[in-house]
Amino acid sequence: MNRRKTGNVFSTDKSGDNPVQGVGFYARENPAFSPDAITDIEFAKTGDDDAVSGSSTKSASDSNSSGVYSIDDNQKNSNKNKSTTKDNKDEKKDGGTPKVAMKRSLTLFHCVAIMVAVTGHSSVFISPSNILRSAGSVGASLVVWLIGGLINMMLALCFAELGTMLPHAGGPYAYVMHTFGPLPGFLIMWGYVVLVAGPFWAFLAYTAALYIVQPVYPDCEAPDSAVKLLAGWIMITMVILNCVYMKYVIKVQSLLASTKIIALAIIVVAGIIQLAKGETENFQNLFEGTSKEPGEFGLAILYSVFSYGGWQVMTSMMEEVKQPGRDLPRSVYITFIVVIIKYIMTNVAYFTLLSPSEVLGSQAVALLFIRRVYSPISAVISALVATTSIGALNASIMGHSRLLFAGSRVGHMPVILGMISHKYLTPWPSILVLLTWGLVMLYTGGVVDMMDFIGLYSTIMGIAVVISLLYLRYRKPDENRPYQTMTFVPLVMLVVNIAVLVLAIYQKPQKMGIGLGILFAGIPLFWFGVLWEPKPKCFREFIGGWTVVAQKMFMIGKTTS
């Protein structure tokens, strides 16, 4: 069998169907989890190029005589088609064979726009009540917001070091697997998909729908069924846009990020005006009622970690950033300076007109605040918050799907999840899988309760990534690091995250136990999907057959880099 080196994996050439050995990862790209014979979709060579038939790469060695050729050969012919000329100009060639790979199209501006949109997502408009409930007082809640922001910023700097050192799509999954091997890496990916991605998409879509529907019901709570129905439509629409119009979605993301800044600016300015008028009653005894339970305070920090979360998706898109070594750390600093200041000032603004009891009893805090300030513009704020949530959802779709995509390329997910659309060069299968799970979470789960699971997983993931960073510094001190954060940053992060995790488990042992159970359920799944081989022939034929059907139906194929 001949192999050719392409990027981070060795791709099997067209004369064989053997597994592909990963480089930099302790995993095979084609274990028993993936059908043996599937690598690229193939097209029947007829008088009409639009006529498509499929066979596995296993028969690719006979392609010259049978008239069957792969996605690469079809792409050569498609250069003659005007509809695909522009896409093919961007494809790089290796030995005369065009590669099918995601484009490096994200600049520093795009990175900041995505991170500003998704960092904190829409939590500042809906979650202050949870933090206040656990912290116990206005002053303590503001301190928790500051602590949560600093924790996330320092953790993001750790991610930036690893992201520039290991610029592979996959983010924390890639870092942990590169350092400790396949099982820990798989658990990181499994936990992210089950405990973060699906619930997070549901949370964002629900928030957007809530702020759209709530103004129609000014005197009562909006019907939950109506909110969820609209949320599902929003999620599906954004997925379609990401699958088909990625180039335009990137441009629109900058606009969506600006709506968040506008909404926060309106709230902050209104708060400053109220302070100037002497509305300081809720600040007279800032720390009165502060919780004395360490577990409650730890839980409040856990919620703040969730409230600033979401920025991790940027590290999952490293293969699409033009200059990751320069742009990733810069985007971290810019994003968190803006977001921390904005979020603390926004919470201060809320308390100028809303009492702690009113904040605790409100689901849409921003809407309630604006109604107190000037009710005629409440609809405008609702629209801005909804757009902000949609922007965060859009950025999450772009980032989370790349994690499954990266997992498939090293054999930790079915091979089809590592395929991309031949025409649009976006990972359709992984996006659609996460859409399905997001809809399940939306219609069956409690969005607020999911904050506990997301916060739990985020803390565990942070610990794993920081340990990976420290381990690589010790074992590979001379490794090229385009960016290196200060040594005290990962050390502080390790201590803080362990403390928060212990306190959260102490305070909510049952719920956190369920979350840990879901996370470690990935161990038997790893055995079944990756370690157990060879699988029964009927199982492999079933998976392989449906993979070919999906390839032909959606015109998708594996990347060559």
DSSP per-residue codes, 296-309? HHHHHHHHHHHHT-
Q: Are 500 and 295 in contact (CB under 8 A)?
A: no
Looking at the fold, whether 74 and 188 belong to one and the same domain comes out as no
Q: What SS3 state is found at 92?
A: coil
CA–CA dist 327, 318 (Å, integer): 10
Looking at the fold, whether 287 and 201 belong to one and the same domain comes out as yes
* CA-to-CA dists, residue 551 to 56, 63, 70, 296, angstroms: 10, 18, 12, 50
Residue 541 falls within a domain, yes or no?
no
pLDDT by 10s per residue, the chain, length 561: 444 333 333 233 333 333 333 333 333 443 334 333 333 433 333 333 333 333 333 333 333 333 333 344 444 444 444 444 444 444 444 445 455 555 666 788 888 877 776 687 788 888 888 899 999 999 999 999 999 999 999 999 998 888 888 876 567 888 898 899 899 989 998 998 888 888 889 989 999 998 999 888 877 777 888 999 999 999 999 998 888 877 777 777 777 767 878 888 899 999 999 999 988 888 988 898 898 888 898 999 999 988 888 777 666 666 677 777 778 888 888 889 888 998 999 999 999 999 999 898 877 888 889 988 888 888 899 999 999 888 888 888 877 777 777 777 777 888 778 787 777 677 878 888 899 989 998 888 766 677 888 889 989 999 999 999 999 999 999 888 888 889 999 999 999 999 999 999 998 898 899 889 999 999 999 998 888 888 888 888 887 887 788 777 777 777 665
Looking at the fold, whether 217 and 89 belong to one and the same domain comes out as no
CB-neighbour burial class of residue 414 (10 A; exposed 0-12, middle 13-18, buried 19+): buried
Q: Are 422 and 50 in contact (CB under 8 A)?
A: no
Domain span at residue 19 reads: 3-100
* Vertex 210 angle, CA 207 and 212, to 5°: 110
Looking at the fold, whether 13 and 132 belong to one and the same domain comes out as no
pLDDT at 245: 76
Residue 540 falls within a domain, yes or no?
no
* Helices and strands (DSSP H and E) totals, the chain: 22, 8
Q: What SS3 state is found at 67?
A: coil
Looking at the fold, whether 58 and 124 belong to one and the same domain comes out as no
Tell which of 30, 65, 100 closes a domain: 100
CA 389 to chain centre: 14
Q: Is 91 left (phi over 0), alpha (psi -120 to 50) or beta?
A: beta
Looking at the fold, whether 391 and 273 belong to one and the same domain comes out as yes
pLDDT at 275: 92
Q: Are 403 and 254 in contact (CB under 8 A)?
A: no
Looking at the fold, whether 151 and 85 belong to one and the same domain comes out as no
The amino acid at residue 454 is: I
| Lookup: tokens for 319 | 């293969």
pLDDT at 269: 93
Looking at the fold, whether 55 and 118 belong to one and the same domain comes out as no
Strands 42-44, 68-70: pairing kind: antiparallel
| Lookup: tokens for 81 | 């088609």
CA–CA dist 8, 182 (Å, integer): 16
CA–CA dist 93, 87 (Å, integer): 13
What contacts 80, CB < 8 A, 6 or more positions away? none
Looking at the fold, whether 172 and 293 belong to one and the same domain comes out as yes
Q: What is the dihedral of CA 511, 514, 520, 522, to 10 degrees?
A: -120
Looking at the fold, whether 263 and 130 belong to one and the same domain comes out as yes
- Report the chain's C-alpha Rg in angstroms: 24
Q: Are 54 and 419 in contact (CB under 8 A)?
A: no
pLDDT at 151: 93
Cβ count near 514 (within 10 Å): 14
pLDDT at 520: 94
| Lookup: tokens for 539 | 């199982």
Residue 556 falls within a domain, yes or no?
no
pLDDT at 311: 79
CA–CA dist 169, 409 (Å, integer): 10
Tell which of 38, 67, 100 closes a domain: 100
Residue 466 falls within a domain, yes or no?
yes
Question: Which H or E run contains 538?
Answer: helix 537-554
State in Å, rounded, how far the first CA of the chain is from the last one. Answer: 19
Q: What SS3 state is found at 447?
A: coil
Looking at the fold, whether 133 and 248 belong to one and the same domain comes out as yes
pLDDT at 113: 78
Residue 478 falls within a domain, yes or no?
yes
Cβ count near 276 (within 10 Å): 9
Cβ count near 73 (within 10 Å): 18
Looking at the fold, whether 32 and 174 belong to one and the same domain comes out as no
Residue 42 falls within a domain, yes or no?
yes
pLDDT at 92: 45
Residue 550 falls within a domain, yes or no?
no
Residue 286 falls within a domain, yes or no?
yes
pLDDT at 561: 53
Total number of domains constituting the chain: 2
Tell which of 55, 73, 100 closes a domain: 100
Q: What SS3 state is found at 12?
A: strand
pTM of the entire predicted model: 0.73
